[in-house]
Amino acid sequence: MAARQAFAAALSLSMLLALSPATAQTPPVESIQIGLSTDAISITAGFSGADLTIFGSLENPDPLVARQGRYDVIVVLEGPPRPVVVRRKDRVLGVWINLESETFENVPVSYSVATTRPLQDIAEPAKYKQLSLGAQNLYMKPVDEADAPATIEEFTAALRDRKAATGLYSENVGGVQFLSQNLFRATVRLAPNVPVGTHKARAFLFKSGLFIKESSAQLEIRKSGFEQSIFRVAHDYSFLYGVFAISLAMLTGWLGRLIFRKD
Amino acid sequence: MGIYLPIAEISVNVFVLLAMGAAVGFLSGMFGVGGGFLITPLLIFYNIPPAIAVATGANQVIASSFSGALSHFKRGTLDFKLGGVLLAGGIVGSTAGIYVFAVLRRVGQLDLFISLLYVVLLGTVGGLMLVESINALRASRSGAAPVLKKSGQHNWIHRLPFKMRFRASKLFVSVIPVLGLGAGIGFLSSIMGVGGGFIMVPALIYLLKVPTNVVIGTSLFQIIFTSAYTTLVHATTNQTVDVILAFLLMAGGVAGAQYGAKAGQRLRGEQLRALLAMLVLAVAIRLAIDLFVTPPNRYSLTAAGLN
């Protein structure tokens, strides 16, 4: 065992010597970088979802490990955190009524993951829990922590399930591809109903199942276009918007009578 | 052709909405009702969130009632004083309704409450109208003369204090039931997105004994302002008025209404009422079924912190 380790160390040392004799003493640590071509994207009202490509690179990769495909990268695009209420309908006298509910703090509105391989093949589940990585491992903090653990668990599962069903939480296995030893490309999905706000792109580097390094970048998602202007006016100048809506209705009523009058 | 609704935040088909507006406008012109009680459930069936369907329905009602009130104003069949008192009550009722609306939305019971109100109100009104019109149809077939209500007849309402004279309606009545009626309609307007004509008209005729010729004009007059107020408050407190959606419905609606009014003149009163009753009942039944059918998913997510 000890002999094998020594052999591996010697092997990597000799390769490093060949690559960069100057830094031969300490094996350089791998690290990861990601770059976004822009720090803000505008989507129009008719946005029907898209793939977002993120490029990244490994720094100081071990060529042997890279050749054996033992580097894994997980890229996450995480939407802005918001509080959310999960409600459950139950039957009361035959009618389905929202009865139980659980409020969670700071739940990412969207969470898109791209990986080199299926998550379970990359690292141990405990590792993901520790890093709070992956939709299944995200920690959802209930506002009322005194609730029964089984209830919290049930509503947490329902929250993940609903998010996945609307495409806001997605997983793209094989969405990260190495283009060369250093360069990789990640494709994360943007759902049609992707929330506006500051999104965080994070890349996690794993080597033979061990977490090595993380890198992150910010991305602003904005909505643009005529419809978005209406939305903004409705929220920022709600009184004027209301007056406009009323005037429009009266004008339409008056014009309609003028144009289509039949009496 | 698809269009994105900025407030409802979904894509819909323009022609479906125009057709929906035109169909409801046609019916409302034919039966002399505002059509809000049909628009809001139809929007809900079309997957528009109920909160937005209600607020936008109220906005749409302004257009149809304004158009209708104009013709009554020209013909002089409109009692401004009575309308004004009804309106004063309406503002109070609508304010209360908006408050209840916001509370229900916060606790997640708004959708249920809207559906229940619709089922109960439409079921009752539709049922009563159907019975009444079938009786009238049967009576006219057997050749018996219809029993007319004596206009001079007084009931308990006419013994209440604070009497006021309404000249255009030839009425001397307490302001309490007028304000109360206005408040009730205002409350329903803000929670259901209806103008409330389908309750206002029979209430004015049967309870207050207002002459039939000024009833519709006066009802429409007060509905304009109650719905305008409701629209404004929904826009400022809940941001749930979708102008694009409202405009498409109005555009279809005002066109349909004029043709509907013409078609309505060819049908007999009882037949017209029986048809409207069946329509109202059908909407009520459809909404009732949705309450009992097992939902595809029992869990739902809402953004917290709406208060």
For A127-149, what is the mean pLDDT? 84
Which residue on chain A is closest to B11 by alpha carbon? A46
Q: Are strands B171-174 and B163-166 parallel, antiparallel or unpaired?
A: antiparallel
Are residues A260 and B109, on separate chains, in Cβ contact within 8 Å?
no
Are residues B108 and A163, on separate chains, in Cβ contact within 8 Å?
no
CA pair distance A100, B204, nearest whole angstrom? 43
Do the Cβ atoms of A99 and A92 come closer than 8 Å? yes
Q: Which of B71, B235, B297 has the CB atom closest to A234's CB atom?
A: B235
A60: pLDDT strictly greater than 90 = no
CA pair distance A158, B295, nearest whole angstrom? 15
Q: How far is CA B279 from CA A129, B19, B31, B109, B195, in A?
A: 56, 17, 11, 27, 17
CA pair distance A50, A164, nearest whole angstrom? 16
Query: CA angle, corner B51, sides to A192 and B103, nearest 5?
Result: 120
CA pair distance A222, A224, nearest whole angstrom? 6
pLDDT tens track for A10-52: 434 444 444 444 444 566 788 888 888 788 888 877 777 888 8
Edge-first strand order for the sheet with A111-115 is: A40-43, A210-223, A197-207, A71-78, A111-115, A169-173
Are residues A260 and B71, on separate chains, in Cβ contact within 8 Å?
no
Do the Cβ atoms of B258 and B122 come closer than 8 Å? no
Residue spans per domain, chain B: 10-141+158-291
pLDDT at position B145: 53
Are residues B231 and A249, on separate chains, in Cβ contact within 8 Å?
yes
Q: Tens-of-pLDDT digits for all 307 residues of chain B?
A: 778 888 887 888 889 999 999 988 888 777 767 678 888 888 988 888 888 998 998 898 888 888 888 878 887 777 888 888 888 999 999 899 988 988 888 888 888 888 898 899 889 888 888 888 888 888 877 765 555 444 455 566 667 777 777 777 777 777 888 888 889 988 988 888 887 877 888 788 777 778 777 888 888 888 888 889 989 988 998 888 999 999 999 988 888 877 887 777 777 777 777 888 888 899 899 889 888 888 888 888 887 654 3
CA pair distance B189, A36, nearest whole angstrom? 50
pLDDT at position A262: 57
> Tell me, what's the ipTM?
0.83
CA pair distance A70, A62, nearest whole angstrom? 10
pLDDT at position B96: 93
User: Smallest CA–CA separation between A237 and chain B, in Å?
Assistant: 8
Q: Which residues of B touch A257 (CB under 8 A)?
A: 67, 70-71, 254, 258
DSSP codes joined into one string, A62-115: -HHHHHTT-EEEEEEEEPPEEEEEEEEEEEETTEEEEEEEEEEEEEES-EEEEE
Are residues B66 and A227, on separate chains, in Cβ contact within 8 Å?
no
Contact map slice: A 184-223 vs B, CB within 8 A: 193
Do the Cβ atoms of B257 and B26 come closer than 8 Å? yes
> Taking the mean position of all CA atoms in its chain, how far away is CA A137?
13
Query: CA angle, corner B241, sides to B239 and B246, nearest 5?
Result: 165
